[in-house]
C-alpha cells in the first residue's frame, strides 16, 4: 500500500465528514454523535509524528468512523437501510448494531500500539484490546443513557437509538465485543511483535 495511505484516509474522511455534516436530520443529535469522532480524529492527527500506525490499523479506525458519521447524519435508526431490513425480514434498523460491531475493529490499533511499544506480549495485547473495547462500549452505553435522560424528547430518544428494544444496550455491547474478537484475530495474524531488546 502507498506510504500516503493514512494521509489519503484523513483527507477523504475530512471531506466526507464536512459533506455529511450538511443538512443533518437532527443537529442536536449530530453534535452528540460526532463529538467522539472528532476527538479520535484529533488524537490521530496530534500523535501522528510520534507514532504512526500501520495501514491496517488506520483502515480499522477509518471504517467505523465513517460508518458513525453516516449514522450521525441521518440519526442511526433512520439511516435508509430498508433494503437490508426487507431482505432479512427485520423489524429493527440494524445500522447501529453493525456500527457497534465495527467499533470492535479498534482492537487492531490497540494491539499494534501495545506490541510496537513493547508493552505486552501478543497474547496479552489481544486480551487487553478486547477488554478495552468492551470497557469503552460499556462506558458509551452509560453516556447514551445519561444523555437521553438529561436531554429527553426526540433528541434523547434518537441518540439512545433503542428503537423499542429493552435489551438494546446489552446487544450493542455484545456486538462491540464480537467485533473486538474479530479485530484481535486480525491483529494476531497481521501485526508482528517487536523484537526483544538484548543487553
CB distance 115 to 51 below 8 Å: no
pLDDT tens-digit profile of 166-178? 788 889 999 999 9
Residue 187: closest CA among 61, 9, 48? 61
* H helices present in the chain, as ranges: 5-20, 27-47, 55-74, 82-88, 95-103, 107-116, 122-151, 153-160, 168-190
Tell me if 195 is assigned to some domain: no
Query: What whole-number distance in Å separates Cα of residue 57 and Cα of residue 167?
Result: 31
Tell me if 84 is assigned to some domain: yes
| CA distances to 29, 78, 80, 92 from 85, in Å | 23, 12, 10, 7
Tell me if 20 is assigned to some domain: yes
Q: Which residues contact 180 (CB under 8 A, 6 or more apart)?
A: 103, 104, 106, 107, 129, 130, 133, 134
Tell me if 196 is assigned to some domain: no
Tell me if 73 is assigned to some domain: yes
Tell me if 199 is assigned to some domain: no
pTM, 2 dp: 0.89
Indicate the number of domains in the chain.
1
Tell me if 198 is assigned to some domain: no
pLDDT band at 157 (very low <50, low <70, confident <90, very high): low
pLDDT tens-digit profile of 48-92? 999 999 999 999 999 999 999 999 999 888 899 888 889 989 888
CA-only gyration radius of the chain, Å: 18
pLDDT at res. 29: 86
Q: Which residues contact 191 (CB under 8 A, 6 or more apart)?
A: 54, 56, 108, 111, 112, 115, 116, 122
Q: Residue 123 belongs to what domain range?
A: 5-190
Tell me if 70 is assigned to some domain: yes
Amino acid at each position: 500500500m502507498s506510504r500516503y495511505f493514512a494521509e489519503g484516509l484523513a483527507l477523504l474522511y475530512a471531506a466526507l465528514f464536512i459533506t455529511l455534516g450538511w443538512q443533518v436530520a437532527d443537529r442536536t443529535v449530530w453534535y452528540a454523535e460526532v463529538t467522539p469522532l472528532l476527538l479520535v480524529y484529533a488524537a490521530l492527527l496530534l500523535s501522528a509524528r510520534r507514532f504512526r500506525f500501520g495501514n491496517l490499523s488506520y483502515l480499522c479506525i477509518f471504517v467505523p468512523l465513517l460508518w458513525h458519521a453516516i449514522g450521525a447524519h441521518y440519526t442511526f435508526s433512520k439511516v435508509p437501510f430498508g433494503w437490508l431490513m426487507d431482505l432479512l425480514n427485520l423489524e429493527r434498523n440494524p445500522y447501529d448494531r453493525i456500527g457497534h460491531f465495527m467499533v470492535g475493529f479498534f482492537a487492531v490499533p490497540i494491539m499494534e500500539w501495545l506490541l510496537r511499544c513493547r508493552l505486552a506480549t501478543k497474547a496479552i495485547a489481544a486480551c487487553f484490546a478486547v477488554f478495552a473495547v468492551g470497557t469503552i462500549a460499556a462506558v458509551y452505553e452509560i453516556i447514551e443513557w445519561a444523555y437521553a435522560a438529561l436531554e429527553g424528547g426526540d433528541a434523547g430518544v434518537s441518540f439512545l437509538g433503542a428503537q423499542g428494544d429493552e435489551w438494546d444496550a446489552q446487544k450493542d455491547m455484545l456486538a462491540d465485543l464480537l467485533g473486538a474478537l474479530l479485530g484481535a484475530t486480525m491483529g494476531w495474524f497481521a501485526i508482528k511483535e517487536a523484537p526483544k531488546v538484548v543487553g
